[in-house]
Amino acid sequence: MCNLAVKIETNIHRMMEKHDFVTIADLSKDKIMYLIRMAQEFEKHPNRDLLKGKIVATLFFEPSTRTRLSFETAANRLGAKVIGFSDAKASSVTKGETLKDTILMVANYADVIAMRHHIEGAAQYASEVAPIPIINAGDGAHMHPSQCLLDLYSIYKTQGTLENLNIYIVGDLKYGRTVHSLITAMRHFNPTFHFIAPKELSMPTEYKIYCKEHDIKFQEHTAFNEKVIADADILYMTRVQKERFSDLMEYEHIKNVYILKNDMLQNVKPNMKILHPLPRVNEISYDVDDNPHAYYIQQAQNGLYTREAIFCHVLNISLEDIVNDNTIIR
């Protein structure tokens, strides 16, 4: 009886504790690996009723295809219902409603909010005012923690480890929120980064300082060729983001600076995989798609499993609950 009382009290405490998923910097090494194990369970059995009776709100103030659809698919496959909008023009924001009021109103109807916003720090602010969990689906050029978790899961699946890897990041390192999140998360795993970008889009000083403060090794390159990428375990391509440029002439000047072509992959390491947060524009030639090193389509698929894990994490559903789940739909 005593043990039962303790278990009930523990479960009540878990239910009352509010978990947000705003930045990958909040996660310890153990928590990252814990979420990866959760994603592995969902890859085995993605269809369940774990969230039956829950309502998920997806608020996308900025356009998205993969992130929004994978969040909504994850919610649906776990038995939740989904409400929200994919365009801020279809909301009361156009009437002048503040972010605070939008969040508080939606919190009346939903159990969790997944939100993308063009302003850096918007998700953090939302988490401070919301009585329900907030998941950051990307805030400006700042962070994209759910993309980062699926990147980590993809790296772990293809390399068998997250430790001691050579990770080459190519393209828009200035505005690339996926890149900034990845650097933050990999601090636990002793990586060596190679930053490949034109000077206009080089890694911001604050992230290079972050690397130095956390003893993360890195090198910077402006050249992008077969020789430069020969030692890569992970080649992480990014697009030059037109929407982040105030000067379109500058965008046109650098948008096609780095293009990965199939003939550049002849001498890469056997284990090397090419990742990309997508969408792609011109930075990966279509002849690369059939190369065994290409992994970006499978990477997007992994977003389903990791976002199922994120929903469970913020709603206080544990790995033990998932392993022992009897709601699996086969």
Instruction: Catalogue the active-site residues.
Output: 66-67, 95, 116, 144
- Distance (Å, rounded) from C-alpha 314 to C-alpha 78? 14
Tokens 């608020």 belong to residue? 59
Q: Cα dihedral angle (321, 323, 329, 330), rounded to 10 degrees?
A: -170
Please tell me the distance from the alpha carbon of residue 262 to that of residue 148, in angstroms, as a whole number.
Answer: 26
- What are the structure tokens assigned to 80, written together? 């939740």
**Any long-range contacts for 107-111 (C-beta under 8 Å, 24+ apart)?**
107/131, 107/132, 109/55, 109/57, 109/83, 110/55, 110/56, 110/57, 110/83, 111/54, 111/55, 111/56, 111/80, 111/315
Alpha-carbon span 144 to 21, nearest angstrom: 10
Amino acid at 31: K
Question: From edge to edge, which strands make up the β-sheet containing 217-221?
Answer: 217-221, 192-196, 166-170, 234-237, 273-275
Residue 237: in which H helix or E strand, if any? strand 234-237
